Structures are given as C-alpha cells and as structure tokens.
C-alpha cells in the first residue's frame, strides 16, 4: 500500500495534457504564489518528471531536470514529504537575432512526493548527473523489511 | 521570410523487416535562435551523456539521437512519470549553414549545437568610396 499521490504519466507532448497531469501541483502552488508575473508558472509551468523506486532498504527518487546548475536545485524533507524545487535560468546569451523555436521552459518549478514509509532524514543524499537529479532516502530501521526465521520443530 | 530550420517529424524506425515492433522515440523540446554568425540549437535530453549522443547531417537534414545511458535503479518501481525511451528529432537545415563547422556539446542533459553560416552568406559591410 503506497500513499503516493497519483498523477497521470506525461505521455503526451501536448501541453494541455501536461497541464492536466500537473494540475495538482499547480493548485499546491496557488497558495504560495506571489503573482510575480508571467513566469509564475501557474498556467505555463514546468512539472519535471519524477520516478520513485523502492530498493528494499532505501528509496530512490529521480527527477528529470535537464540544463540546471546544482546550486539552482533545492531539496527539502519534512513530515515524510520530499520537496524538489528550483529555478532554471536561461543560459543562452541574448542574441539580437530571431527566435525560431522556443519549446524549453525556463522558470520555477516545484514537485513533492510523500514517501510511503519512514525514512532517516539525516542520511538523505542526492546527486545530479546528465540532467537527472537522484535522491537516495534510506528507510528508518523500523521501516526496513526484515526476514524472520521460523523454526519448525 | 526565410523558412529556416523547419522541423520535420521524427520518422519512426522499424526493426528489421515488416511486423517488427516500432522503436519509439521521444521528441526532445528544442530552442533555436539565430545570431549574426549562425544558429544555436538547444535540445533537452535528460539521462543522455556524451556517449549516448549521435548527431548526423545528411541531405541537408540534421538528426539528433540521444540514447539514455543513465542506469535505472533495479528496485521496485513505486511511481513513474518519465518515459524511458531514447530521444530523436530531425531538423531541416538552412542551406546557408556550413555543415563542416557544426559543433556540439552536451551538459546536464542539454545538447547545444552551434550551426555557423558559411562565410559567403554572412552579412557584410561594404565600404563606399567616394
């Protein structure tokens, strides 16, 4: 039994479908939104894909965050919820020339995931490689699966 | 208007003969900017390193192919949103691009291509002698 919120996988390139699947995130964001402008992300937001794996004694949470700097990614863990947020800044030097295609999203994002069992928050570690953030969350001792030997007389 | 770098839809590739399953690709989101000297193309391919990257130019068409090289965790999948498919996309090249001078680099899953224009087509100031 996992208590992770369901979100439809983002199988489509249609922005409107992405919007639907990230609706919950957008609603979450609505409450701490400062209406700072067009990049507020409410309707044009970026919802990086998240994967969660159960590796027996730890969880791995992977997030696809291409083209960021390590310092631009923020991670926090509170009450069993891992939050990943940050802001991707446009790195390309501004050219006076024409833009032919602009499909990449720049701006803020925020994702969170509820872990189904207790994890040891002091031992959480993360790495960022090839545009994928990988967070390792060791399960707390009590939550680790244990094998119990049953001796039949 | 000069219709440059028009996107052509990625062609699904078939494995071997007919009836073989289609290889599915994801289309990487891309930005294309023009500068005085050429074009800059950026494409997002998370999970692709330098080793998984193939950039080819053939018949005036640029194709980028990114294979996911990052190892997947072996544990039980609790939740998944990412698509574990490779990336592929083709672009029609402006004939003014000097294909011999195209350079590519990939950093944190973002491929950046510099596509310089041939010297002959660069804008040039001509001094007027009185």
- The residue in chain A having the minimum alpha-carbon distance to the alpha carbon of residue B111 is A67
Count Cβ atoms within 10 A of the Cβ of residue A136 and give its class: 0-12 exposed, 13-18 middle, 19 or more buried: middle
Q: What gap in Å lies between CA A75 and CA A86, rounded to an integer?
A: 9
Q: CA separation (Å) from A17 to A11, A20, A43, B43, B70?
A: 8, 5, 12, 21, 27
Other Cβ atoms within 10 Å of A116 Cβ, number: 18
- The residue in chain A having the minimum alpha-carbon distance to the alpha carbon of residue B49 is A130
For residue B105, being part of any structural domain is answered with yes
State residue B73's pLDDT score.
85
**Mean pLDDT over each residue of chain A, to the nearest integer:** 78
Question: What's the total number of domains in chain B?
Answer: 1
For residue B95, being part of any structural domain is answered with yes
CATH number assigned to the domain comprising residue B113: 2.60.40.790
B81/A60 touch (CB, cutoff 8 Å), yes or no: no
Closest of A138, A10, A69 to residue B26, by C-alpha: A10
Query: pLDDT tens-digit profile of A71-126?
Result: 999 999 999 999 999 998 876 555 567 888 888 888 899 999 999 899 999 999 99
Query: pLDDT tens-digit profile of B98-109?
Result: 999 999 999 999
> For residues B21 and B82, which has the higher predicted lDDT (pLDDT)?
B82
Structure tokens, B25: 């690709």
For residue B11, being part of any structural domain is answered with no
B52: domain range?
Answer: 22-70+84-120
CB contact, 8 Å: A16 with chain B? no
Chain B CB contacts of A4 under 8 Å are 78-79
State residue A36's pLDDT score.
39
Query: pLDDT tens-digit profile of B40-62?
Result: 999 999 999 999 999 999 998 99
Mutation site, A84, A103, A115, interface B, largest B CB count within 10 A: A103
For residue B7, being part of any structural domain is answered with no
What pairing do the DSSP bridges indicate for beta strands B76-80 and B61-66? unpaired
- End-to-end CA gap in chain B: 33
- The residue in chain A having the minimum alpha-carbon distance to the alpha carbon of residue B74 is A55
Q: What is the DSSP track for A74-93?
A: EEEEETTEEEEEEEEPP-SP
How is chain A split into domains, by residue range?
A: 15-140
Residue B60 distance to chain A (closest CA, Å): 18
Q: What gap in Å lies between CA A47 and CA A127, rounded to an integer?
A: 19
A15-140 has CATH 3.90.1150.10 classification = no
Q: Which pTM was predicted?
A: 0.71
For residue B126, being part of any structural domain is answered with no
State residue A76's pLDDT score.
94
State residue A102's pLDDT score.
87
A92/B42 touch (CB, cutoff 8 Å), yes or no: yes
């Amino acid at each position: 039994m996992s208590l992770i919120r369901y979100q439809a996988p983002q199988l489509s390139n249609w922005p409107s479908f992405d919007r639907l699947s990230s609706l919950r995130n957008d609603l979450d964001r609505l409450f701490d939104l400062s209406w700072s402008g067009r990049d507020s992300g409410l309707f044009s937001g970026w919802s990086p894909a998240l994967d969660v794996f159960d590796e027996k004694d730890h969880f791995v949470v992977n997030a696809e965050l291409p083209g960021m700097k390590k310092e631009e990614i923020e991670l926090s863990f509170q009450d069993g919820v891992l939050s990943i947020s940050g802001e991707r800044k446009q790195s390309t030097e501004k050219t006076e020339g024409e833009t032919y295609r602009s499909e990449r999203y720049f701006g803020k994002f925020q994702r969170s995931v509820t872990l189904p069992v207790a994890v040891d928050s002091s031992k959480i570690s993360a790495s960022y490689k090839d545009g994928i953030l990988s967070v390792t969350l060791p399960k707390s001792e009590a939550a680790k699966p244990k094998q119990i030997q049953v001796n039949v007389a | 208007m000069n219709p440059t770098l028009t996107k052509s839809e990625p062609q699904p590739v078939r494995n071997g003969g007919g009836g073989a399953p289609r290889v599915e690709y994801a289309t990487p989101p891309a930005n294309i900017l023009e500068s005085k000297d050429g074009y800059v193309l950026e494409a997002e391919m998370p999970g692709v390193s330098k080793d998984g990257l193939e950039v080819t130019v053939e018949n005036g068409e640029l194709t980028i192919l990114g294979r996911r090289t990052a190892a997947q965790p072996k544990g039980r999948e609790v939740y998944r949103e990412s698509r574990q498919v490779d990336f592929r996309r083709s672009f029609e090249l402006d004939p003014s691009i000097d294909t011999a001078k195209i350079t590519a680099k990939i950093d944190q899953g973002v491929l950046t291509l510099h596509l310089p224009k041939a010297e002959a087509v660069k804008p040039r100031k001509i001094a007027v002698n009185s």
